[in-house]
């Protein structure tokens, strides 16, 4: 009888591991890591929107919007 009770436990443990791996893998497809469309940023910038407003509209961080402007230089 011991082997009969052991198989469901093993199946449960394997199922839980697969489920945990599946849930953690969903973060790979999160849009928060997606690049910002710099053409859209340029269009909105030309329309007079701030970086914060553009980031909000595109669902991105301000840092990613600022990256479309290129590196900052001290003049």
- Does residue 19 lie in a domain region? yes
Instruction: State mean pLDDT over 19-39.
Output: 62
Band (30; pLDDT cuts 50, 70, 90): very low
3-class DSSP state for residue 8?
A: helix
29 vs 71 pLDDT, higher one: 71
The 10s digit of each residue's pLDDT in 59-68 is 999 999 999 8
Neighbours of 44 (CB within 10 A): 18
Here the tokens at position 10 are 């093993």
Which has more confidence, 42 or 27?
42
Using the predicted structure, report yes or no on whether residue 44 has a pLDDT greater than 90.
yes
Instruction: Tell me which residue range forms the domain holding 47.
Output: 2-25+34-67
54-73: average pLDDT: 85
Say how many domains are in the chain. 1
């Amino acid at each position: 009888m011991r082997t009969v009770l052991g198989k469901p436990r093993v199946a449960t443990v394997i199922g839980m591991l697969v489920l945990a791996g599946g849930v953690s893998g969903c973060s790979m497809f999160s849009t928060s890591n997606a690049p910002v469309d710099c053409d859209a940023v340029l269009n909105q910038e030309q329309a007079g929107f701030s970086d914060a407003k553009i980031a909000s509209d595109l669902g991105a961080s301000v840092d990613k919007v600022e990256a479309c402007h290129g590196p900052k230089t001290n003049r």
